[in-house]
Structure 1
Amino acid sequence: MEEVDKILIHALKQVGTEVSEDIDSVKQFTSELIVEAVVRCIRVIEPGLGSSLPTSLPPGMSARFRVGMSLAQACQDIGYKGEIGYQTFLYSNEPEIRSLLMFLVERLPRASAEASDQPTGKSAVLQRHIAAAIKTQLAVPWLPPNCRLPLHCEMQSVGSLHSFHTQHLSLPHCSKGKKQLKEVRDYQRDILPPVTSQLSHQASVVASILEQHTAELSAAQEWEHEWNSQGLLSRLTPQEYRSKKLTRLRKRIEEQLRSAAQTSPESAFGVPTSTSDLSELLQTFRGSAPSDHILTKGTHFTHTQKFTFTQETAAAPSAIPIGRQSEGDVQLQQQEELASLQQQIQQLCTNIDQIAADMKHMTVTNAQVLDELKQQELGNSENTEKLQVKKKTIDLLPDADNNLLKLQAVVEASAKRVVNLASQWEKHRAPLIEEHRRLKEICSSQDLESSRKLSEIKSLHEKIHMSTEEAKKKEEIYKQLVTELENLPHDASRSAYTQRILEIVGNIKKQKEEITKVLSDTKEVQKEINNLTGKLDRTFAVTDELVFKDAKKDESVRKSYKYLAALHENCNQLIQTIEDTGTILREIRDLEEQIETENSNKTVANLERILDDYKAIRQENSALAAKIREG
């Protein structure tokens, strides 16, 4: 039981039960510790059921009884079939508590079981404590500074908060299977500053690293998704697919640059055009230069408007008199000029809009005229062909009979030639059809094979992905186990544990051999007793028959027969007495074992505790009655 208790205590520590180092057996568990252990296990097994259960016993006896009943009901709800009640927790019994804890530990989820199998070295325990502290801090809701309690002030202090500001980082990337240039390696080794020196603010280091890592991870996931959805269907290698995609992207950029470099006719009249973002960006870059240095091609209307506007702007300064004027007059004159200029601008805008609408209308009309012209040209070509046919027919009318004979001869020759060609085509058509069918079957089989191989490749990719993740997990577990092995004390050798296990196995084998030997001896003794009993019965039957025959003739033999019957009866009584004695001895041993069990169950101590609890309940009842009377 010592090994079982150690396993139980270790599992209870893993679920959060505070078991002191001095306790190494279930026998040493107190009622408070039993309640805490059971509630922790129930919270892990059924969080909704265990969230309402307290981890400690209240001071009042009636409240303790209610807690014990609720715990017993919760254990029955999760599937415990043994006898359980409030006495199981308040007046602990070692076998019942051990069976209950074994049931709860077996019902723990797999994650908790795996956690219980983890090493308990200092580094692993420290990492678990750190993770638990972070989880508790994340579980605390955020509150405004004015509503924070002292606990929240420690966890949500203003000094530890920073704005999420990111900056671009230059990180050295080492790709497997690709050789980097020597200059790149030298730059990364000698010139490239560390990450903490590349940023202007030290507080943005974590945010920048998280942003960089998230961008790389999302790019890798997007590439994997694109390759699995489109790349595999293209039946190209990853390098060919990337190069093809890059070529396609370059062509699109070139097309955007060409379309942005060409000025549309509508843009000359101020009509907005639907250009892409790249063309708009190029237009802004091109518009940053002075307008005098841009050679644009304009129409007669634009030159006329420009000349008129230049004359008006040139004549406007001449209207200002040379003499000094008051500031109010100057402002009034400027406002008048501004109003006149605005009217001119509005007039120009309306003119431009009107001209743009006229241009659109003319463009539509021109397109309609071009369509009608094309249709008329097609009609003219058809009429020309019909005219030529009719002209040839009219030329043949003067010599109609000869022409009909010639036409019939030509038709018959054409029919014979068509029949000959049909026979020849049938000769060539049969093997071609067979070849076409064969190739079609080969193509369909190849398509099926390729689709099957494609599905196999996808399944292999998934298996590779799962195997990679599993290998990473096993690698982490291996590293953790290696570190734990290095941190373990080296004085405890493995041979000692192995020797101890072998000794335990040897003792178990010896006990099994002894039990088998005792069972075989018992069977032999029972068999011998059965043989002797049968022999005695047979001997008595034969003797009784012989003596009974002679007893009819001789008086002395009659007395011997009576003594024989009395001897047989006394022997039966003696055997029955021996059997009763053995039964009584077995009952005595059973009673002694029960007495030892009851002594181990601390029955006397539990009775004393029950009496104390009864007295406490009576005191609580009397106090409540006194309060009721006073009220």
Structure 2
Amino acid sequence: ILVPSCVETDSVKQFTSELIVEAVVRCIRVIEPGLGGALPTSLPPGMSARFRVGMSLAQACQDLGYKGDIGYQTFLYSNEPEIRSLLMFLVEKLPRESAESSDQPTGKSVVLQRSIAAALRAQLAVPWLPPACRLPLQTQTQSLGSMHSFQVQPLSLPLGPPVEEYRRDVLRPVTAQLSSHCTTAASLLERHTAELSAAHEWDVEWKSQGLLSRLTPQEYRSRKLSRLRKRIEEQLRSATLPAADGAAAGPASSSSSADLSDLLQSFRSSSASDRLLTKGTHFTHTQKFTFAQVRPPPRHAVTRPAGDAAQRRQDELDVLQQQGDAQEGGRPGNENVWESELLSLQVKDELKQRERGNAEEEDRIHVKKKTIDLLPDADDNLLQLQAVMEASSQRLVHLAAQWEKHRTPLIEEHRRLKEIRSSQDLESSRKLSEIKSLHDKIRVSTEESRKKEETYKQLVSELDSLPQDASRSAYTQRILEIVSNIKKQKEEITKILTDTKDLQKEINSLTGKLDRTFAVTDELVFKDAKKDESVRKSYKYLAALHENCNQLIQTIEDTGTILREIRDLEEQIETENSNKTMANLERILEDYKAIRQENAALAAKVREG
């Protein structure tokens, strides 16, 4: 792959731009055929086209995952380190067919998965085309005939303890429950989404309201179900209210009653639509739910005795019984059962109201009867009443005194229990907050574990995709060699550092010795110079000698610094020479001249056109 043409080369330094482009393109075509199929294997003659090819190659290498600095200059004005790094990256990316064929297991499932993956890759690699531009093969793969609208149908799934028997004996498969196989995936996705949404809503409701209720999940569900049934019953009863009562109840209740009335009306047949029940007495609405006219019973006065009230209630019950018998006899067999339920609810409601009214009327009549019996002997009754009131007042005082004796310990006990209750409330609130925080931590931990699981699966898949033909012993040997080389280099560096330190210590000791010797000599010569003229000249020569020696030492140090700088510059020159800076500069100038000539030619063509 890396030797595309018959060109003798000994190192990467001898690679030309054409050879580099051809090698990179062939490697990309082997690694990713869809990405390298549109890339040319040779450079075009025009300079602008060369720049475009270089940019395309750089973008393709970046798409493969190359992290280094790359651009059109890498291929047109290349240097050895960049080309070596790029070629090493491409060689590592090349697939190992022998390792894949030897390591992967064989079987029907593996063959099926490979065929599915190959078909998906082939379909994804083909671009979408409009219907007018499709070839026969593309017409088969991109036809709208295999596409269907998203239609959902309800599914019946087993719920409850006897799941196995129900699934084995009664329940049909999911594919048999649907009218068309095209709706199978949509129905399953819709059912799964609904279950996930319900579970999420229950989780949110339990964490926000269920924990505050201090009930178990079963008790909370049962209480919620009972409240829902009660609300439904209230709505059913309010649906039977007359229009006047609904208007007086307010806009909210009237709207809910109207909605429920419309719902109930939809369950009725068109022939029974004129028999919507409204609240009222049975004497005013008898003709609406009977076929024969029944004469209403006579009205009774309010002040009739209790016996007459009982007789009146019995008469009304008889009339209701007759109406119910007539209703059962005159109804057709296929009439809606929902109307009978509403009728029973209305009858029960009116019966309860009548019973409450009769009980209140009996109490009033009983009080009035006793009052009338006491009127003939009013004076004696007043005296007796006063005596009873005085005795009652004394009894109340005595009871108040006794209550005060019992009240004080009860109040203290109540206060103590109240404090205990408040402390328990605080403790329960604290525990609830802890439970909520634990739920949050569990949610966060679950999310983190899910992300880590996905990362683990991704890493496992990447590990499986890595080449398996490389020998572990070879890598181990290479690592050991690298470690030994690093160890040798460290030993050499340590030796050089030790020699440098010893040399520096020796230089420092000699410098100190020289300074001390000069100081002692200067002091001795200076003492003798005061007495003898010849010694004075010697002192001057000594000072000049010391100054010249210092200058000589400084010159040697400057010479060493200059030598180090020369070595650094030589290394930089070698680096620049390896980068072929001058050659690349000359090529850039030539390409610049070629581009100017092309632009001039194009401008001339434009002017001629």
Paired residue type of 2:592: Y
Does the CA-based 8 Å contact 1:167-1:208 persist in structure 2?
yes
Paired residue type of 1:221: H
Q: SS of the counterpart of 1:616?
A: helix
> Which residue number corresponds to residue 583 of structure 1?
561
> Which residue number corresponds to residue 414 of structure 2?
436
Change (3 A) 1:461 1:150: farther
Change (3 A) 1:394 1:136: farther
Change (3 A) 1:493 1:220: farther
> Which residue number corresponds to residue 534 of structure 1?
512
State the 1:470 CA deviation: 3.4
- TM-score w.r.t. the length of structure 2 is 0.52
2:597 to 610, 619, 631: 619
State the 1:463 CA deviation: 3.0
> Which residue number corresponds to residue 185 of structure 2?
206
Does the CA-based 8 Å contact 2:236-2:260 persist in structure 1?
no
Whole-angstrom CA distance in 2 between matches of 1:590 and 1:608: 26
> Which residue number corresponds to residue 364 of structure 1?
none
Whole-angstrom CA distance in 1 between matches of 2:237 and 2:539: 140
Paired residue type of 2:216: T
Q: SS of the counterpart of 1:430?
A: helix
Does the CA-based 8 Å contact 2:528-2:535 persist in structure 1?
yes
**Same amino acid, percent of matched pairs:** 67
Paired residue type of 1:298: T
RMSD value, Cα: 6.4
Paired residue type of 1:235: R
State the 1:234 CA deviation: 4.0
Q: SS of the counterpart of 2:211?
A: helix
Whole-angstrom CA distance in 2 between matches of 1:450 and 1:157: 64
Change (3 A) 1:392 1:202: same
Q: Pairwise mapping of residues 104-143 of structure 1 onto structure 2 (< 5 A)?
A: none
> Which residue number corresponds to residue 194 of structure 2?
215
1:298 aligns with 2:290: yes
Whole-angstrom CA distance in 1 between matches of 2:499 and 2:554: 22
Does the CA-based 8 Å contact 2:210-2:220 persist in structure 1?
yes
- TM-score w.r.t. the length of structure 1 is 0.51
Does the CA-based 8 Å contact 1:93-1:601 persist in structure 2?
yes
1:451 to 388, 410, 429: 429
1:605 aligns with 2:597: no
Change (3 A) 1:525 1:133: farther
State the 1:614 CA deviation: 2.9
Does the CA-based 8 Å contact 1:94-1:601 persist in structure 2?
yes
Q: SS of the counterpart of 2:553?
A: helix
State the 1:591 CA deviation: 0.8
1:423 to 401, 420, 425: 401
1:157 aligns with 2:143: yes
State the 1:21 CA deviation: 8.6
Does the CA-based 8 Å contact 1:256-1:278 persist in structure 2?
no
Whole-angstrom CA distance in 2 between matches of 1:394 and 1:213: 86
Whole-angstrom CA distance in 2 between matches of 1:587 and 1:513: 26
Does the CA-based 8 Å contact 1:551-1:561 persist in structure 2?
yes
1:228 aligns with 2:207: yes
State the 1:533 CA deviation: 1.9
Does the CA-based 8 Å contact 2:158-2:166 persist in structure 1?
no
- Please list every run of 5 or more consecutive structure 1 residues that lacks an aligned counterpart in the other structure: 1-17, 24-32, 37-57, 72-83, 99-120, 265-271, 288-295, 303-369, 398-402
Whole-angstrom CA distance in 2 between matches of 1:179 and 1:461: 32
Change (3 A) 1:243 1:551: closer
Change (3 A) 1:282 1:246: farther
Does the CA-based 8 Å contact 1:91-1:606 persist in structure 2?
yes
State the 1:238 CA deviation: 3.3
Change (3 A) 1:545 1:88: farther
Paired residue type of 2:187: S
Q: Pairwise mapping of residues 458-477 of structure 1 onto structure 2 (< 5 A)?
A: 458-477=436-455
Report the count of equivalent residues: 444
- Please list every run of 5 or more consecutive structure 2 residues that lacks an aligned counterpart in the other structure: 1-22, 29-35, 40-45, 60-69, 85-102, 105-109, 243-257, 274-287, 295-354
CA deviations over 1:206-229 (Å, ceiling 9, x no partner): 223323322332333343344334
Whole-angstrom CA distance in 1 between matches of 2:525 and 2:592: 75
Whole-angstrom CA distance in 1 between matches of 2:515 and 2:259: 126
CA deviations over 1:533-578 (Å, ceiling 9, x no partner): 2322332343355456667888987887787667656644543443
Q: SS of the counterpart of 1:165?
A: coil
State the 1:586 CA deviation: 0.7
Does the CA-based 8 Å contact 2:175-2:184 persist in structure 1?
yes
Whole-angstrom CA distance in 2 between matches of 1:431 and 1:440: 14
State the 1:442 CA deviation: 1.9
2:572 to 566, 570, 594: 594
CA deviations over 1:586-616 (Å, ceiling 9, x no partner): 1211111221232244312331233124313
Does the CA-based 8 Å contact 2:374-2:381 persist in structure 1?
no
> Which residue number corresponds to residue 216 of structure 2?
237
State the 1:453 CA deviation: 2.4
Paired residue type of 1:542: V
Paired residue type of 2:407: R
CA deviations over 1:373-396 (Å, ceiling 9, x no partner): 999999988877887888765447
